[in-house]
């Protein structure tokens, strides 16, 4: 049996270099803008939710930690602040999924990561919000909170909702992907996510995995835009964008394939030197010519994009 790949083996197999670019996110007043999430609203409006944060913000220091999530709209090929949209204070790393309500109407589920500073070490809390559109989102009205976990993603399918999480500890080690199926968004709970099946053999034990966006491939399987990573806080950390597939019913998953590294984008300063080699993927946009545009955060400081001819497989 072939052993699961390591981070370095996955990076070495990434041969197709991309011509990425840096996205101009206006109006941030000297703050960093990164880790984007793309939202295509009915009617053709395209929005980008972006984490905006001061250069000195640090999650372990409550007095300095100041991220917020803002929305930008694509206007004539450029990003402009989206008028009338909410700002999510004390929030990181946005994500979104279009779902259906009980009457079959489109409903946007939007999520952010916040921190609970009640203990000696801050604890990540993922919060979910829902509304018919971005303008109607209420930052004070979360319908679900999941403490102790980041990188939770949802996918509405014809008859169910697939939920991927990122547990740590125990069988999940330093970070793995989990999957569960719910009958509806209303049936997604912290308990369901906690009890989800964990894929333990996609990568070797020293490599971390996280999901960033899910796609219905139409044959019962789910495509996952995610990240592979190594390193811990206090040392050099490396992240790359990757793609893999999983079958929620059979509980099988493929090994990730790296689709973008930091070398695929123009040079730009990182928030800290230890995270200079970080690509945190946020979304894939399907283009009219069949190609895809990848949006991602770079070094916890900039937003980048790159055109992919296709995803692997």
pLDDT of residue 311: 85
Three-class SS state of 239: strand
Which residues contact residue 15 at a Cβ distance below 8 angstroms, ignoring those fewer than 6 apart? none
Q: pLDDT value at position 19?
A: 94
Structure tokens at 65: 């930690």
CA distances from 78 to 57, 265, 280 (A): 27, 19, 22
Using DSSP bridges, classify how beta strands 106-116 and 92-100 pair: parallel, antiparallel or unpaired.
Answer: antiparallel
Q: Which parts of the chain have pLDDT scores under 50?
A: none
Cβ atoms of residues 295 and 36 within 8 Å: yes
Residue 270 is predicted with a pLDDT of 97
Angle ∠(119,123,129) on CA atoms, nearest 5 = 130
Q: What are 44-90's pLDDT values in tens digits?
A: 899 999 999 999 999 999 999 999 999 999 999 999 999 999 999 99
Buried b (16+ CB within 10 A) or exposed e, 55-66: eebebeeeeebe
Backbone dihedral angles phi then psi of residue 10, each to the nearest 5 degrees: -65, -40
Helix (H) or strand (E) holding 12: helix 7-12
**DSSP assignment letter at 135:** G
How far apart (Å, rounded) are the C-alpha atoms in residues 263 and 283?
19
Residue with tokens 């125990």: 170
Alpha-carbon span 151 to 128, nearest angstrom: 12
At a CB cut-off of 8 Å and minimum separation 6, what does 268 contact?
Answer: 22, 298, 299, 301, 302
Helix locations, 113-235, DSSP H = 190-194
**Residue written as token pair 């949802």:** 154
**What is residue 91's predicted lDDT score, i.e. its pLDDT?**
98
Contact indicator for 245, 254 with CB cutoff of 8 Å = yes
Residues 93, 35: contact at Cβ < 8 Å? yes
Rounded to whole angstroms, how far apart are CA atoms 92 and 283? 15
220: alpha, beta or left, given left = phi > 0 and alpha = psi -120 to 50?
left
Cα dist from 254 to 82, 237, 257, 258, whole Å:
38, 24, 9, 12
pLDDT at position 186 is 95
Backbone angles phi, psi at 55, to 5 degrees: -60, -30
Spatial contact of 278 and 299, defined as CB atoms under 8 Å apart: yes
The three-state secondary structure class of 17 is coil
Specify whether the CB–CB gap between 109 and 128 falls below 8 A: yes
pTM: 0.97
How far apart CA 277 and CA 184 sit, in angstroms, is 38
């Amino acid at each position: 049996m072939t052993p699961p790949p390591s981070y370095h083996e996955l990076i070495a197999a990434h041969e197709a270099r991309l011509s990425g670019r840096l996205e101009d996110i206006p109006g941030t007043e000297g703050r960093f803008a990164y880790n984007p999430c793309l939202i295509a609203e009915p009617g053709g409006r395209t929005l980008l939710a972006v984490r905006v944060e001061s250069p000195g913000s640090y999650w372990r220091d409550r007095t300095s930690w100041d991220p917020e999530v803002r929305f930008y709209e694509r206007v004539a090929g450029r990003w402009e602040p989206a008028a009338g949209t909410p700002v999510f204070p004390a929030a990181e790393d946005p994500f979104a999924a279009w779902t259906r309500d009980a009457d079959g109407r489109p409903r946007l589920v939007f999520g952010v990561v916040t921190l609970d500073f009640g203990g000696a070490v801050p604890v990540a809390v993922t919060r979910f919000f829902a509304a018919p559109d971005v303008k109607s989102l209420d930052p004070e009205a979360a319908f679900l909170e999941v403490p102790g976990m980041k990188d939770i993603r949802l996918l509405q399918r014809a008859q169910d909702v697939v939920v991927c999480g990122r547990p740590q500890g125990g069988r999940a080690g330093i970070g793995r992907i989990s999957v569960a199926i719910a009958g509806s968004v209303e049936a997604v709970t912290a308990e369901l996510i906690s009890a989800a099946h964990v894929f333990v053999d996609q990568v070797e034990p020293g490599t971390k995995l996280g999901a960033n966006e899910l796609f219905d491939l139409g044959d019962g399987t789910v495509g996952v835009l995610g990240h592979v990573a190594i390193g811990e806080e206090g040392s050099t950390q490396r992240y790359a964008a990757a793609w893999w597939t999983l079958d929620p019913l059979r509980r099988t998953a493929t090994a990730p394939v790296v689709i973008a590294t930091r070398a695929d984008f123009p040079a730009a300063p990182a928030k800290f030197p230890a995270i200079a080699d970080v690509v945190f993927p946020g979304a894939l946009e399907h283009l009219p010519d069949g190609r895809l545009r990848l949006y991602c955060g770079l070094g916890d400081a900039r937003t980048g994009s790159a055109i992919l001819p296709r995803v692997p497989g």
